[in-house]
Amino acid sequence: MKVELENLFSIAETSQDQVINVYNRHGIAIGAPEIRKRNLKTKFNPIFTLNEDVTYEQVTALYESLEREFGIVSIGERFYFEFSDIEYERASLFTLNSTGNSPEMFLEDKGTLFSLSTHCKYCGLMDKEQLSPIVIDTTQMKDRHLVHVNGYWVASEELVLLMKKENLEGYELLEVIHKGPEEEKQLAYQIIPTQMLPECSKDRVKLYFATEQPPCNCGLNGVINGPDIYHHEDLKNVKGDVFYSADFSHDGRYLYRKTLFSKRFREAIINSGISREVRGEKDPNFGPKDWLFDPVLIK
């Protein structure tokens, strides 16, 4: 697994070469930039790998230089986690990160009932407990097989049939409540894992944005978690195809438990033609209907 950092900021086209020099001076080799013109300024987005040679400490020193020498104070940061082919082939579990590179993979919650409680009094992250079936406008699912609603996955009837046909196990289905036009409404089901995995390995990569507030003491807000990584022994006796993660994820306001899927689940999706095989966000196969599974790493 490789961690990459992409920066994005505006610079005058004339200072481009000097900015590249600043990166190089900090030991970060970047090549000829892809420039996006926008008025007089251009968008500059260098991407580089973080490793023993380029640490995040070096990057924060770089940002200080960019500010001091060029007055660049507004820098975007984006992390990418890239996996090797061996990591895809060896993984027994996968995280589902997208069911299509399209806004339609996200569906708006139309009034599911939750009980809320404060999880962290410093950053205000809330725990939520689901009290009713998920409420969505199912006409918005159109011909999508799986949509994401605030941390939960909602499946079409066709996907449920496929999961049954493939004898996938480890979940319960809860029919959603439709709220919207009666015409073209459809049946849809929340996939509720019946098992929770053990806790992740402590070796999971944890990052933060140097350009933002440092992470909260709760260890959740402001922390960018790298890929899930488990000890081999912890997964040895795990059976089934759908699981909750023991570790919390959050959307900036609410905590939720991420759902993980088995290799068999991923293969069923690919073999049935629901999605092409996608290996990473940069894979040209990642189209508006393709599913992005990241392999769970084993230690």
Partner 1 sequence: MMFRKILPIVAILFIVALAVSNYFEKPEVASIIITQAYMLANFS
Interaction site with partner 1 (CB under 8 A): 6, 8, 27-34, 36, 38, 43, 45-49, 51, 53-54, 74-81, 96-98, 100-103, 105-106, 148, 207, 209, 211-212, 224-225, 249, 281-282, 284, 286-288, 292
Name the residue nearer to Zn ion (CB basis): 122 or 214: 122
CA end-to-end span of the chain? 12
In the structure encoding, which two tokens stand for residue 139, read together? 């006409």
* Closest distance to partner 1 from the beta carbon of 134 (Å): 16
Name the residue nearer to Zn ion (CB basis): 133 or 222: 222
* Closest distance to partner 1 from the beta carbon of 292 (Å): 6
> Of 122, 129, 117, 94, whose CA–CA distance to 220 is shortest?
122
Q: Please, what is the Cα angle at 79 between 74 and 84, to 5 degrees?
A: 155
Query: What does 120 bind: partner 1, Zn ion, none (CB cut-off 5 to 8 Å by kind)?
Result: Zn ion
Residues that bind Zn ion (CB under 5 A): 120, 122-123, 216, 218, 221
Name the residue nearer to partner 1 (CB basis): 92 or 249: 249
* Closest distance to Zn ion from the beta carbon of 252 (Å): 11
Give the phi and the psi of residue 75 in degrees, each rounded to 5. Answer: -125, 125
In the structure encoding, which two tokens stand for residue 206, read together? 């944890």
Q: Is the separation of the CB atoms in 204 and 227 below 8 Å? A: yes
Query: What does 218 bind: partner 1, Zn ion, none (CB cut-off 5 to 8 Å by kind)?
Result: Zn ion
- Cα-based distances in Å from 79 to 154, 198, 234, 270, 295: 27, 26, 28, 26, 17
